[in-house]
Structure 1
Amino acid sequence: MPFRLRLSCLFICVTLWTTFGAESHRSPNIVLILTDDLDVANGGLTPLSKTKKLIGEAGITFTNALVASPLCCPSRASILTGKYPHNHHVINNTLEGNCSSKAWQKSQEGRTFPALLKAQAGYQTFFAGKYLNQYGHSEAGGVEHVPPGWSYWVGLEKNSKYYNYTLSVNGKAQKHGADYGSDYLTDLLANVSLDFLQQKSNFQPFFMLVSPPAPHSPWTAAPQYQDRFNTTKAPRDPSFNLHGKDKHWLIRQAKTPMTNSSIQFLDEAFRKRWRTLLSVDDLVERIVKRLEVRAELDNTFIFFTSDNGYHTGQFSLPLDKRQLYEFDIKVPLMVRGPNIKPNQTSQMLVANVDLGPTILDIAGFDLNQTQMDGSSFLPIMEGRMNSSGWRTDFLVEYEGEGSEVSDPACPLLGPGVSECFPDCVCEDSYNNTYACVRTIAPSADLQYCEFDDNEVFVEVYNLTADPFQLTNIAKTIEQEVLEKMNHRLMMLQSCSAHSCRTPGAYDTRFKFDPRQMFSSWTLGT
């Protein structure tokens, strides 16, 4: 064979290996689909039939996925940083509460997991949708500000909308109106996501975070789905329209039974929420199919979750989140990807602070280089870890909004009410401030909460015997047990990085062993 021909063959072989061989050995691609206010306790996944099939049945479903705070901005900050709110300092949805503020940008934004993926793991990164509630605020840099870590940026200005919004497209304002074909936000996010998959480099792994508005208010469905679920009502579970007589002051103030107007309102909102999710289902299907057509699906992890849960009538609270109960802190979490066997279900306690560490672990990043509070649950998904090596408890913390100024809209509720729904059932106040330890172990399913209010109120629930958290058992258990739970709560509230995520270390250091503790008293209701 002539030398020139041999050289040409060698060049072709090297090119083919570089194009195909290197791609087959590169780090996996990662997609995170983050919905807004999607519950799991009240049937939120019911409309998402395609999502459950394409992600849940194709991979693993976590039945005990929790959020560190049941509100959009603090929860999203926990996802991005892998930290509890007491470490990232985003406490509510306001600029004053550090939501997308200059202080957040200076202290945390450059250390998020997407920033690490791009700068240190060689990923091309793409964001589309809702970021943080105050993103785009003039006092926080406006839409010209593009957070570090994103190769391609399509960020929604401020809170969830479906029409008549402004996007920041790589730092340039793009205004949208009310035409379904060009403006409906969920569909637009699907379209720009597919454009990214078509235009991205094929020589780098990619990370996509797609954050649609649904099912957040104003619950505007696509035209083709506006007549769906017309006879559906919010679930009438045992806590529906029930007075929370042994709960903290904000729950006790709710009117029970609710008025017909409140019930009609929440039922209609429930239907509207489900209708908006049908477009999310379409978005998931389109992304999965495009990855499959591009022969990239087998090398891609796809996560589906929400920033917090939601309630519709539980304990006579018509609509909202912000509460400590399962319906507000538990979220859907499904993952498919390489080495994840299909049709798996895990009851292990995973959380939104774990998403960043898990995604970095997938990318091959050394987690010891981070200051994240969460842990990677990749070994759980791949069947390399059982419950003995994982956490048994998790911190939930929330700081109420408002100030010590009475709200005339709700004079019976005391000072600081920040938001009201029909019949003056107010969902938040400055002293709706609490911290909880949520314990899930083979021998215990428990929640312990303390409120920072005038009562110093305590709520304790045994969810094995009382899954709907109907009865607060704080006054019926031994003082020694309460002291141990209080001590564990204080340890978690002061933890940071390694001290938050070391599995099992606290059992001996702080003498908090759920198995021993629960053997000493009756977990009755």
Structure 2
Amino acid sequence: MTRSPRILTPIVVVLVALLAWVTGTQAMPAAPSAAARPNVVFVLTDDLSWNLIAHMPQVRRLQADGVTFNDYTVTDSLCCPSRSSIFTGRFPHDTGVFTNGGADGGFGYFHGHGEEKQTFATALQSSGYRTAMMGKYLNGYLPADTQGGTQPYVPPGWSEWDVGGNGYQEFDYDLNENHKVVHYGNRPQDYMVDVLAGKGANFIADSAAAHQPFLLEIATFAPHAPYTPAPRDADSFPGLTAPRGPAFDTLPADAPPWLAGRAPLTGAEKTAIDSGFRKRVQAVQSVDRMLTTLRAAVTKAGVAGDTYVVFSSDNGYHMGQYRLNPGKMTAFDTDIRVPLVVAGPGVTPGSTSTAQVQNIDLAPTFQSLAGTAVPSTVDGRSLAPLLHGGSGAGWRTTSLVEHHGPDALPDDPDLPAPNSGNPPTYSAIRTGVYTYVEYSDGSREYYDRTTDPHQLHNLAGTLSPARLAELHAAVTGLTNCHTGAACWTAGHAG
């Protein structure tokens, strides 16, 4: 009797992924038959910090069903650079996207420099996947823009495209729906997260009915400011206040110049932070329900056993920590360390990983799970071995964060408000033990997170010249790597 390739193929894919782990290569076998390849449902939130997860029961259920990566960081705590790294698997110094607009960032740079031509979407679509992008794309993208064509622009690689531009208010927005601009108003049913949840469920059903493997990315604007909740959540969590951990309203000792000297938060600022945190918790309730909707759709379509569900954020968010008003862009863990939760075939329920993983690892993960080749130009590494029980032995020990600043673009939705944190250009490395930052003005930070997990004691001034030289070499090695092999090697030098 001939065995079904549906049983054999996933085993082969996992074995080859493990072989790639051991040999240090990223080569994958020829794509298996469409019926055997797993699906991916990827929910990417905007500015979602770890302290919101306690208020998201469906995300916690996903954690119980899968693996949580506790040391997952982004390449830049800013929307467009982070999303560019997610799409391509490359660091900002390779995508060229360091900001949300202007000469070194935004959709204009990403599109104008051909970055859209080689993403996880183009790779999966070319191998027979149905692909869908819904919600937020890149800063500066406008739904009605034709990019010189005859109809609203849709980037390559996407079978379904339902994407907005300025959707932060969650109401009164436009979506480019497969080259057609559709306006949504101010009715409760127009709330964007709910609209995307419905579209995502329909895409899952249609893809399963067509017997095609699929990848669905839904990128919400929530809980980005102005933290707009769905109407049914607007009165929830009465009296909730922002967490007040050790870093709240506290300056680190020997803070760098951009941070030093800040006065304590005023009563009005603390009140605004509490109100904002409550609204953020309200806003993510719809995202949490979206997870329920999408997972139910996968189950109803009969493909739950063949589908990976991935939940994450493009960056974190600080609210009162280090005397900073709400914002991001810093190298503190509040801003760069975000949730990554994955459930699916072969993933051990309720497991955790402390491997140093980054958002550059998502694109090669999606491609390797699909059985498509990962180009050598991809800086990241597939997480498939970690998903399927790997211990993390031999994984990179050092992650890189790159940022250009300060931000002064007047039309940037992330333009920092006064006293919210707007650091100058820096490069930082983060290991399981410490965080080290080099700023363009010559200042440095070093936090030993084993003894100082809240990063309140900058020890850079106490380090020997030899140790500083070692750290500088580690930063330089990562900021100058340009291939998967080179970046993998540099990621072990910290």
User: TM-score normalized by structure 2?
Assistant: 0.88
| CA deviation vs aligned residue, 1:94-152 (integer Å, no higher than 9, x gap) | 24333111553442111111111101x21000111001111117778298110110000
2:27 is matched with which residue?
A: none
Instruction: Tell me the secondary structure at the aligned position of residue 81 of structure 2.
Output: helix
Q: Given the superposition, is the C-alpha separation of residues 138 and 86 from structure 1 closer, same or farther in structure 2, using an over 3 Å criterion?
A: farther
1:176 is matched with which residue?
A: 184
For residues 465-484 of structure 1, what are the structure 2 equivalents within 5 Å?
A: 465-484=451-470
Tell me which amino acid in the other structure corresponds to 1:187: D
Shift in Å at residue 17 of structure 1? 11
Q: Is the 8 A contact 2:121 2:131 kept in 1?
A: yes
Distance 1:130 1:105 in 2: 19
1:155 is matched with which residue?
A: 163
For residues 224-303 of structure 1, what are the structure 2 equivalents within 5 Å?
A: 224-256=232-264, 258-303=265-310
Q: Please, which runs of 5 or more residues in structure 2 have no aligned partner? A: 10-31
1:28 aligns with 2:34: no
Shift in Å at residue 245 of structure 1? 4.8
Shift in Å at residue 296 of structure 1? 0.7
1:87 is matched with which residue?
A: 94
For residues 376-525 of structure 1, what are the structure 2 equivalents within 5 Å?
A: 376-383=382-389, 385-402=390-407, 419-421=415-417, 424-428=418-422, 432-440=424-432, 445-453=433-441, 456-502=442-488, 512=493
Distance 1:141 1:273 in 2: 34
Q: Given the superposition, is the C-alpha separation of residues 488 and 102 from structure 1 closer, same or farther in structure 2, using an over 3 Å criterion?
A: closer
Q: Is the 8 A contact 2:474 2:490 kept in 1?
A: no
Distance 2:286 2:469 in 1: 48
Shift in Å at residue 389 of structure 1? 1.5
1:324 is matched with which residue?
A: 331
Distance 2:282 2:460 in 1: 40
Distance 1:244 1:341 in 2: 39
Q: Is the 8 A contact 1:132 1:158 kept in 2?
A: no
Distance 2:120 2:261 in 1: 41
Residue identity over aligned pairs, in percent, reads 33
Distance 1:284 1:448 in 2: 36
Distance 2:146 2:360 in 1: 24
Q: Given the superposition, is the C-alpha separation of residues 481 and 50 from structure 1 closer, same or farther in structure 2, using an over 3 Å criterion?
A: same
Tell me which amino acid in the other structure corresponds to 2:426: Y
Instruction: Tell me the secondary structure at the aligned position of residue 470 of structure 1.
Output: coil
Q: Given the superposition, is the C-alpha separation of residues 285 and 38 from structure 1 closer, same or farther in structure 2, using an over 3 Å criterion?
A: same
Q: Is the 8 A contact 2:120 2:367 kept in 1?
A: yes
Tell me which amino acid in the other structure corresponds to 1:459: E
Selected match of 2:359 from 352, 359, 364: 352
Tell me which amino acid in the other structure corresponds to 1:358: T
Q: Given the superposition, is the C-alpha separation of residues 161 and 287 from structure 1 closer, same or farther in structure 2, using an over 3 Å criterion?
A: same
Q: Is the 8 A contact 1:66 1:351 kept in 2?
A: yes
Q: Given the superposition, is the C-alpha separation of residues 317 and 505 from structure 1 closer, same or farther in structure 2, using an over 3 Å criterion?
A: closer
Instruction: Tell me the secondary structure at the aligned position of residue 155 of structure 2.
Output: coil
1:3 is matched with which residue?
A: none
Shift in Å at residue 366 of structure 1? 2.0
| CA deviation vs aligned residue, 1:59-113 (integer Å, no higher than 9, x gap) | 1011111000000010000000101000001111124333111553442111111
2:24 is matched with which residue?
A: none
| CA deviation vs aligned residue, 1:9-40 (integer Å, no higher than 9, x gap) | xxxxxxx999xx99895200111100000011
Distance 1:331 1:219 in 2: 18
Shift in Å at residue 420 of structure 1? 4.9
Distance 2:363 2:261 in 1: 38
Distance 1:313 1:198 in 2: 43
Q: Given the superposition, is the C-alpha separation of residues 97 and 138 from structure 1 closer, same or farther in structure 2, using an over 3 Å criterion?
A: farther
Q: Is the 8 A contact 1:132 1:159 kept in 2?
A: no
Instruction: Tell me the secondary structure at the aligned position of residue 54 of structure 2.
Output: coil
Distance 1:140 1:331 in 2: 34
1:212 aligns with 2:217: no
Selected match of 1:188 from 191, 195, 199: 195
Distance 1:59 1:167 in 2: 32
Shift in Å at residue 213 of structure 1? 1.5
Instruction: Tell me the secondary structure at the aligned position of residue 427 of structure 1.
Output: coil
2:380 is matched with which residue?
A: 374
Q: Is the 8 A contact 2:67 2:342 kept in 1?
A: yes
Distance 2:175 2:278 in 1: 28
Q: Given the superposition, is the C-alpha separation of residues 382 and 457 from structure 1 closer, same or farther in structure 2, using an over 3 Å criterion?
A: same
1:132 aligns with 2:138: yes
1:60 is matched with which residue?
A: 67
Q: Please, which runs of 5 or more residues in structure 1 have no aligned partner? A: 1-15, 408-417, 515-525
Q: Is the 8 A contact 2:116 2:156 kept in 1?
A: yes
Instruction: Tell me the secondary structure at the aligned position of residue 487 of structure 1.
Output: helix
Shift in Å at residue 402 of structure 1? 4.3
Shift in Å at residue 500 of structure 1? 4.2
Q: Is the 8 A contact 2:325 2:421 kept in 1?
A: no
RMSD, aligned CA: 2.4
Distance 1:245 1:356 in 2: 38
Distance 1:433 1:317 in 2: 18
* Larger relative contact order (CA 8 Å, sep ≥ 6): 2
Shift in Å at residue 275 of structure 1? 0.2
Tell me which amino acid in the other structure corresponds to 2:457: T
Distance 1:382 1:32 in 2: 18
Q: Given the superposition, is the C-alpha separation of residues 342 and 260 from structure 1 closer, same or farther in structure 2, using an over 3 Å criterion?
A: same
